[in-house]
Amino acid sequence: MATTVRDAVLRAVKEQVDLEVVGVAADPWELLQAAGALAADVVVVPAPAGGLPGVATHLLDQYPGIRVLAVTGAGTAVSYRLRPQLVEVAWATPAELAAAIRADDEADR
């Protein structure tokens, strides 16, 4: 994940009492292993221009209950989950990014 996006995610989560970073992966292979080992609820990945991050497909296949939030350096994100809905979210502040991270969980309650 690009350093600026990684830093934005870490800062956004750090400012929230109900969110916790349980791991940071250096590459997609490490991410796939860590997501299962750490029982992650949400995985944040960098978003490529105009498409689904390749690792998101693998994450959703291996861990059907996981949510994947693909973020860009431009301040937008797309939430992926195994359900027939794709929700585009926008964020500009750490608080808005944190809200996007927890949004899918709140929608399921």
* Domains of the chain with CATH codes: 3-107 (3.40.50.2300)
Q: Which residues pair with 79 in a beta bridge?
A: 69, 87
Nearest-angstrom CA–CA distance, 49 and 57: 16
96/10 Cα distance (integer angstroms): 13
**Helical spans, DSSP H, in 42-87:** 54-62
The low-confidence residues of the chain, meaning pLDDT below 50, are 84, 109
pLDDT digits (tens, 9 = 90+) for 44-72: 888 877 677 888 888 888 988 888 888 87
pLDDT at 84: 47
